[in-house]
Structure 1
Amino acid sequence: MLHTRTTPAERRRRFREQLASGRLLKMPGAINPYSARLIEETGFDAAYLSGAVLAADLGLPDIGLTTSVEIAARAQQVTRVTDLPVLVDADTGFGEPMNAARTLQLMEDAGLAGLHLEDQVNPKRCGHLDGKTVVPRADMARRVRAAADARRDPDFLLMARTDARAVEGLDAAIDRAKAYVDAGADAIFPEALADEAEFAAFRKAVDVSLLANMTEFGKGPLLDAATLEDLGYNIALYPVTLFRLAMGAIEDGLRTLAARGTQESLLPRMQTRSRLYEVLGYADYATFDAGVLDFTLPPGD
């Protein structure tokens, strides 16, 4: 049956080991549990849950309107079906430091391998839009410290994201990253770096694991995996790629259906029924069900 065969603790230890390996982990963003299964089948190292994707899936903009409980519920649905470590976008922690602490524990309970918190004000904005505002460095450090102190599994990864590059400049973003590590962050997510030189400067200055956000249509360049590995980054993140691909295909399909009155020309672009059943493991469910139906109790005394 389609479910994880590993425990959250095992996935968290594996994620830590992967980050310590020195190689680049490629991490696409899942749009639902099914796509997380496809990410695993394709051979990727880990999966991601983007706050922007989760908001869009609910028909909301990425401005902090989702709640920690909504995010945790979707996360649990995803971690149930994949053996990959899953990292989640926890926005600003959904409130004050105590809210960030509760958020971390909710995400632990959801079976995730880690989360990242960011230093924007509430309500936040997409990291690649203009007009962002960041909280004072000390306020974010308290946010990180609260989450670190609330952690029950020491292998659960606490990553801090800084959006300060676009607001205060590169040097300030690096200083903030160092302060967040001192406050308890295990890894850093420098958002919206402008070019390869800035990625290199961040790597030179910060000695914990670093995530490179390779989101499309953003402020920074789309560096390939070989380049990021040469730069010494630990994670290449593709947060919204699958969502954009899927929604683009859906829009094209709807236009074709509306214009032609039939989906026949779209059939070559569709996943087949047999492939759908293969991914979902229909045969395994049938075997399981048959075993239950055939079960009989031994004779009583």
Structure 2
Amino acid sequence: MADLLGNGRTTRARLRELVEGPEPLLAPGAYDALSARLIEQAGFDAVYMTGFGTTASLIGRPDVGLLTGTEMVDNARRIVAAVDVPVIADADTGYGNAINVVRTVQLYEQAGVAGIQLEDQVMPKKCGHMSGKLLIGADEMVGKIRAAVEARRDPDLLIIARTDAVAVTGTDDAIARARAFADAGADVLFVEAPTSDADIERVAAELRDVAPLVFNWAEGGKTPPMPLERISELGFSLVIYPIGTLLAATAGIRTLLAALKRDGVPTAALDAVPTFEEFTDLIGLPEVQALEQRFSGA
């Protein structure tokens, strides 16, 4: 776990090793620093900062391009500071043109993320599993990817290029765009929201030898919930689970509030939640107490 004094260790080279490894890297979605800590404590090797979850948690609204790049970077910075595992951050469209992408990449890099995801939607964008998406031209997105590659100061910062073309112009165009993004220097390719096993298999067959691939196991989304064994067989390198933690937290909060509203006290729901002591332990109180002793001068 990340401690308050820090250890100065970079996670970018580690993320590249994991993505290039023999098994898919699993990265559950974190929407804040607490959910990121829980992911790390559960034993996962990477955290995915979800734009959907960040929007929902910060402003209680849907992922339709309402957050600014500054708000997203600030959340990424807090998440990175909370964990020692690599953090992959959603950077939406880069928040403008290729010049804006340059600054976006630099700000995320300064925040300490190990990888960023850029997509080819028109801004304001929408969640990849919503309808009504619009695309920028493939040439414009190629320019953004080239700008992102040149803007990074650390060559180990992973640039993930996402296309939302499947839902707009079809799978053929999505695959063609992904190839162009790889030619522009993208490290990892992300074809968003294929809607059938056949399309998933086609994406994998045509692109897995081009660059490492992302599979978005979007909980309740448009992509079929394929078993991990099959995802691995198809050659996907990174599997993200963007909103499961957010949905689980929502369910837990609803259950406690229902008990409180019904009974006037939350007692009936407390067996399903951590005790106060358990919770303060998992957020690092023992470390703080040790540091107090260490620096007390006693």
Band of TM-score, shorter chain? over 0.9
Provide the rounded CA distance (Å) in 1 between the counterparts of 2:279 and 2:3: 13
Cα contact 2:205–2:234 (8 A) shared by 1: no
Aligned to 1:188, what secondary structure does the other structure show?
Answer: strand
Provide the rounded CA distance (Å) in 1 between the counterparts of 2:22 and 2:34: 30
Cα contact 1:3–1:82 (8 A) shared by 2: no
Question: In the TM superposition, what is the alpha-carbon distance from 1:141 to its structure 2 partner?
Answer: 0.7
TM-align CA RMSD: 1.4
Residue 232 of structure 2, aligned match among 229, 234, 237:
229
Question: In the TM superposition, what is the alpha-carbon distance from 1:24 to its structure 2 partner?
Answer: 0.7
What is the one-letter code of the residue matched to 1:256?
Answer: A
Provide the rounded CA distance (Å) in 2 between the counterparts of 1:195 and 1:7: 43
Q: After TM superposition, list the pairs within 5 Å mapping 1:164-203 onto structure 2.
A: 164-203=165-204
Provide the rounded CA distance (Å) in 2 between the counterparts of 1:45 and 1:234: 13
Provide the rounded CA distance (Å) in 1 between the counterparts of 2:5 and 2:146: 31
Residue 251 of structure 2, aligned match among 248, 251, 258:
248
Question: In the TM superposition, what is the alpha-carbon distance from 1:196 to its structure 2 partner?
Answer: 2.2
Structure 2, gaps ≥5 residues long: none
Residues 29, 6 of structure 1: CA spacing in aligned structure 2 closer, same or farther, 3 A cutoff? Answer: farther
For residues 192-251 of structure 1, the C-alpha deviation after alignment (integer angstroms, 9 at most, x for no partner) is 011222222112211211111011221111112211111110111100110011012112
Aligned to 1:27, what secondary structure does the other structure show?
Answer: strand
Residue 281 of structure 1, aligned match among 267, 280, 284:
284
Task: Name the count of aligned residue pairs.
Answer: 294
Provide the rounded CA distance (Å) in 1 between the counterparts of 2:85 and 2:273: 26
Question: In the TM superposition, what is the alpha-carbon distance from 1:6 to its structure 2 partner?
Answer: 4.6
Q: 2:267 maps to what in 1?
A: 264
Structure 1, gaps ≥5 residues long: 296-301
Cα contact 2:11–2:85 (8 A) shared by 1: yes
Q: After TM superposition, list the pairs within 5 Å mapping 1:24-173 onto structure 2.
A: 24-57=24-57, 58-173=59-174
Q: 1:11 maps to what in 2?
A: 11
Provide the rounded CA distance (Å) in 2 between the counterparts of 1:37 and 1:291: 24
What is the one-letter code of the residue matched to 1:235?
Answer: L
What is the one-letter code of the residue matched to 2:135?
Answer: V
Identity of aligned residues (%): 38
Cα contact 1:4–1:80 (8 A) shared by 2: no
For residues 136-181 of structure 1, the C-alpha deviation after alignment (integer angstroms, 9 at most, x for no partner) is 1101111111111111100000000000001111111000000011
For residues 107-161 of structure 1, the C-alpha deviation after alignment (integer angstroms, 9 at most, x for no partner) is 0000100101000101111111111111111011111111111111000000000
Provide the rounded CA distance (Å) in 2 between the counterparts of 1:142 and 1:281: 43
Provide the rounded CA distance (Å) in 2 between the counterparts of 1:4 and 1:243: 29
What is the one-letter code of the residue matched to 2:31?
Answer: I
What is the one-letter code of the residue matched to 2:172?
Answer: D
Question: In the TM superposition, what is the alpha-carbon distance from 1:284 to its structure 2 partner?
Answer: 2.0
Moved >3 Å (runs of 4+): 1-8
Provide the rounded CA distance (Å) in 1 between the counterparts of 2:268 and 2:193: 40
Provide the rounded CA distance (Å) in 2 between the counterparts of 1:61 and 1:49: 16
Provide the rounded CA distance (Å) in 2 between the counterparts of 1:88 and 1:61: 18
Cα contact 1:4–1:79 (8 A) shared by 2: no
